[in-house]
Amino acid sequence: MAKTASKAAKKAAAKKAAKKPAAVKKQAPAKKRPAEKKPASGGDKQRFTLYGSMTSGPTYTVGLMLSLCRHPFSYIHVNLREGQHRLPDYMVKNRYGQVPTLRDGQTFLVQSAAILEYLAESLGKFEGRTAHERQRIREWLFWQWDKLALPILRLRARARGFRQFGDEVRVMYDTEAKTALAVLEHELARSEWVVGRRPTIADVGVYGVIRYAAEASIDLSPYPHVAAWKKRFETQPGFGTPEQILPMESRLL
């Protein structure tokens, strides 16, 4: 009996051992893959498609950045007058229903300042070299939309007949634009470029607005450092005017 019992016990133990899962090797936590660095320029012609309008300042800013980076791009004309920016197939690319939108592979990017940051980082050009520089650049990009772009682009839109408002509002925007220009003048009196010692996306973003000052009937001569910086910016390789950079019609590469 005892013999049988011990035999049964042995059998049960063997069964248990067979059931026991093999020791699982502890796996190291999956390492986060570094973001893939895509080619900085040249060959990959099909990488970027810019959706925009020739008359749009923010579209120009993105096209200008690509041109300064010497990166070719396809272009899809979005007809704002016909309301193409509000059509469902465009709204899935740009939730704000605005131009520009930049397609990079399967990703659609919106808001010109955010696109500038994205391009600087992924192409490795016109970016801040230190955390401090990147922070300063971001400050200028936020300021530029808050204080500089709004009055200048609204005045330009009025001059072109895209927006209607009376003289009281025109004077308000004019005053706001001049206040912002005085801030920029003060900065550029101390520094050749908006941030640091070389052009960055802060310059590209600010230039994309200053370009339209004349169309907004704003004279830059009271701001000599801004005027000199504008000229300096225009001598960079890859620089082009909106007419040189943005086609009237769609262009697929």
Size of the site for ligand GSH (CB under 6 A): 13
Shortest distance, position 155 Cβ to ligand GSH, whole Å: 13
| Angstrom distance (rounded) from CA 202 to CA 208 | 10
Does 80 contact ligand GSH by CB under 6 A?
yes
Q: Three-state SS for 116?
A: helix
Min separation Cβ 42 and ligand GSH, Å: 27
Question: Among residue numbers 114 through 133, which ones bind ligand GSH (CB under 6 A)?
Answer: none
Note whether 99 binds ligand GSH by CB under 6 A.
Answer: yes
* Spatial distance between the Cα atoms of 173 and 150, rounded to a whole number of angstroms: 8
Cα 20 from chain centroid (whole Å):
56
The least distance separating ligand GSH from the CB of residue 145, rounded to whole angstroms, comes to: 6
d(CA 229, CA 185): 10
Say whether residue 205 binds ligand GSH (CB under 6 A).
no
Quick one: DSSP state of residue 76?
A: E
- H or E stretch covering 23: none
Which DSSP category does 43 fall into? S
Contact status, residue 233 vs residue 199, Cβ threshold 8 Å: yes
Q: Contacting ligand GSH (CB under 6 A), which of 49, 67, 98, 200?
A: 98
111 binds ligand GSH (CB under 6 A): yes
Residue of the chain from 49, 67, 112, 122 that contacts ligand GSH (CB under 6 A): 112
Answer for the pair 209, 113: CB distance below 8 angstroms, yes or no.
Answer: no
CA distance 159 to 157: 5
Q: Quick one: 126 or 223, whose CB is closer to ligand GSH?
A: 126
Q: Of the two residues 85 and 125, which places its CB atom closer to ligand GSH in the complex? A: 85
Binding mask 144-183 for ligand GSH (x = CB under 6 A): -x--------------------------------------
The dihedral through the CA atoms of 89, 92, 97, 100 has a sign that is negative
Does residue 56 touch ligand GSH according to CB under 6 A? yes
Based on the shown chain and the rule CB under 6 A, indicate whether residue 201 belongs to the binding site for ligand GSH. no
Residue of 7, 51, 9, 101 lying closest to 247 (CA atoms): 51
CB of 196 to ligand GSH, least distance (A): 23
- Per CB under 6 A, residues contacting ligand GSH are 56-58, 80, 85, 97-100, 111-113, 145
